[in-house]
Amino acid sequence: MNRVIPLGYKSVDRKLVIDEKFSSLIKFIFERFSEVKSPEQVAKEANAKVLHEYSEEDAAQAKVFYRKRMYKILKNPLYKGYTNHHGTLYKGQHSAIIKEELWDQVQGVLEVPLKAPKAEMPLDFALKSRVRCKECDKAMVVCMTYKKTRNYAYYTCLNKHNGLLCKGLNINVNAELVHRLVIEEVRKILKEPESLGGLWQKLSEDSSPEDAYKRLQNIDGAWDLLPPDDQNKIIQEFVKTVWMSQQGLTIELTPDGLGFAPETQKLIVIPGTFYNRKNKLQVFVKKDEDNKDPALLKALVQAEIWLKEMNSGKYSSYEEIAVAYGLNDQYIRKNLSFAFLSPRIKEAILFGKLSPQFNLIDFNLRRPPRDWEKQEEMFLSE
């Protein structure tokens, strides 16, 4: 048998037999598609299922699922026990994985156009195709969501978008927030004489030298008055890549594109952490120059205060603290764990000596053990 054997089958004595290891995955794909009617959604769920339920060797054999591959699987008549010969279906000698009733149901869905009207971008993102996940070294793709009468754009790692594990942020990041952070840095650079000289030459290509000069006068203060095309052109000429990670943003510049001197700085690092606030827009908390994480400092100080108040008898439970401070009792439980960190870890947080890869999200996900030695192995070994 020289042809490629489809997932869910294996060759035994040159005959197709059902591979029990993957046949359940094929059934899952057909059943889920009949429910959600979205090849992208089914691909994400199938990738997650493989990641969590299959060994590394089996996952490599199954390979990554994506939209185009979903269509190939869903339209393959082999799964209902038939073979295709020159466009005509014949009953095969192999066993079917999918019942004809489910097969017909899925084909009926596929005949209906699945494309929905795309939501319009709220702004023209000059950073599109320039943002990448640092840990995965994958593109951060722009996606849209609709909430409360308006569209929101966000960046997500290509691995996460395909239902795989992202080694970095593993969250959706507000695209407008990233755009704003990068613009802040670009506006700082625009004040440098070398930048203005190179930018003046670029703008002069589309307009007269006099008009270009007028645009550059007080450009930092008049940024918001610039036409969107000019803003995008400036950003695209300055920014080569924006690397996103748990430690913050790293902006890689293209100095040659604006005639910078070779010694001009080519990387701008913005240390910090993205946080999702309940019922609020996402925020980016910057770290100070000493590498101190404000969110970690706040959590540690709060925990010490609350523990002291409980030991003094002022409060006797998490619930009482939550009511007194107007906070959620789950938030109190999580943050109180900071009071039981080892003295060395507390010192590292207070003086900004903790490795930049650790932030509040990381602490909450890892759930530090009570044993101080194990804590230090977890957070101070890097």
CA distances from residue 53 to 1, 62, 198, 242 in whole angstroms, order as listed: 30, 12, 55, 34
pLDDT digits (tens, 9 = 90+) for 263-309: 455 777 777 667 665 545 565 656 555 566 777 778 888 888 888 88
CA distance 152 to 145: 5
Tell me the H-state helices in the chain.
20-36, 39-53, 56-62, 67-74, 100-111, 158-161, 175-189, 193-204, 209-216, 228-238, 294-311, 318-325, 329-336, 343-350, 360-366, 372-379
Confidence (pLDDT) at 48? 85
Confidence (pLDDT) at 265? 53
Confidence (pLDDT) at 123? 45
DSSP state of 6: P
> Which string of b and e fits 282-306 if b means at least 16 CB within 10 Å?
bebbebeeeebbebbbebbebbeeb
Listed in order, the ranges of the chain carrying CATH 3.90.1750.20 are 9-111
Instruction: Identify the sign of the CA torsion 106, 111, 112, 117.
Output: positive
9-111: CATH class: alpha beta
Expressed in percent and rounded to 5, the helix, strand and coil fractions of the chain are: 45, 15, 35
Confidence (pLDDT) at 276? 62
CA distance 33 to 54: 21
Q: How crowded is residue 315: how many other Cβ atoms within 10 Å of its Cβ?
A: 18
Q: Which SS3 state, helix, strand or coil, does residue 63 take?
A: coil
Which residues of the chain are under the pLDDT cut of 70? 1-3, 113-125, 146-150, 189-228, 255-265, 272-273, 275-292, 355-359, 361-362, 364-366, 381-382
pLDDT digits (tens, 9 = 90+) for 321-364: 888 888 887 788 888 888 888 888 888 877 777 765 666 766 76
As given in the structure block, the two tokens for residue 144 are 């849209």
pTM: 0.48
- Cβ atoms of 204 and 212 within 8 Å: the answer is yes
Torsion angle in degrees (nearest 10) through CA of 126, 128, 134, 138: -160
